[in-house]
Amino acid sequence: MKVTAADVRHIADLSRLSVTAEEVERLSSELSTIIEYVEQLSTVETRQIEPTSHVLPLKNVMRDDRLGESLPRDAALRNAPDSTEKFYRVPRIID
């Protein structure tokens, strides 16, 4: 597929970009090359290939849950912009 200068100007307008005549010419050529390269993928036979979400097999790495000391309330509330003795204070958003 050949990307025309009009296509490049239209894309630039949609993107709110200003492009010079030289940039339009260069981008037209570069975008055409990219699209031609991507179109090669349609020639690859993929019917026998299982769909995957990742190229490499993944597994979750989980740590064991262990009881430990919690952060003291005073330390947790220390950097809060507004708090009471026990709680964070946040602006009311529901009437």
Residue 33, domain CATH: 1.10.20
The residues near 29 (Cβ < 8 Å, ≥ 6 apart) are none
> Rounded mean pLDDT of the chain?
91
Q: Is the residue at 71 inside a domain?
A: no
How would residue 95 be classed by pLDDT, with cut points 50, 70 and 90? confident
How would residue 49 be classed by pLDDT, with cut points 50, 70 and 90? confident
Q: Is the residue at 18 inside a domain?
A: yes
How would residue 10 be classed by pLDDT, with cut points 50, 70 and 90? very high
Cα–Cα distance measured from residue 55 to residue 41, given in angstroms and rounded to the nearest whole number: 17
- Token pair of 85 as six digits: 């003795």
Mean pLDDT of 8-20: 96
Is it the case that residue 17 has pLDDT exceeding 90? yes
Q: Is the residue at 85 inside a domain?
A: no
Give the domain extent around 20.
5-43
Structural domain count of the chain: 1
Q: Is the residue at 82 inside a domain?
A: no
